[in-house]
Amino acid sequence: MTDELRNQQQAASIEQKINELVQQSRVLEAYMNDNLSREATVTRLLEEARLASNAIQNVPTDSEVESFMPVGIGVYIKALVPPVKKLLINIGADVTIEKNKEDAINYIESKIKEFEVALRQLVSQKEQISMRMEQIQRQVNQMLQKSGSATGTSGEGSQASHRTQQHSHDAGQQHTH
């Protein structure tokens, strides 16, 4: 009877640790999803900044040029753009300043560098989160193997195993983009 009680206590302790690890994994999964969202935003901003830089560099400063001005939902108006001497740049908080073409390009290039740094940091964080999630999964698997061999895989251990494996499967699908 004493061995059986000890095995039950050990199984309960292992299941509690497994549940704690699963909870940690869920927190990391939420953090991973937030990270992926921020990464997509920064990637979009980086692409937009590169396109803006390219567009400004290709606009002539000495002659009028015909262009298409977007008005929404894929509709454009043909417009004449006068020689570009100054550009308006929104620097935040609804504050817009006027800059010459060279200064505007320099401003955009500095923003591109900021976005590239932010993107590298997000990718690094994503890798760290992923490694930690994999580490938790290995720990859970080891604990399940130990509890299975020690307790003969009781019904409770099997349920914990199923929950953990299902959660790991779900988490793996969400962060393999």
* Packing angle of the helix pair 155-174, 101-151 (nearest 10 deg): 160
Whether the model clears a pTM of 0.85, i.e. scores above it, the answer is: no
Closest CA to 101 of 57, 55, 47, 50: 57
Instruction: State the residue range of the domain holding 122.
Output: 2-58+101-174
Looking at residue 158, its pLDDT comes to 47
Q: Which residues have C-beta within 8 Å of that of residue 52, sequence separation ≥ 6?
A: 108
Looking at the structure of the chain, the number of domains it has is 1
Whether 81 maps to a domain, the answer reads no
Is residue 156 included in any domain, yes or no? yes
Report if residue 65 sits inside a domain.
Answer: no
Per the document, the length of the chain is: 177
Mean pLDDT by 10 residues, the chain (177 residues): 79 87 96 98 98 91 89 95 90 93 96 98 98 95 78 48 50 48
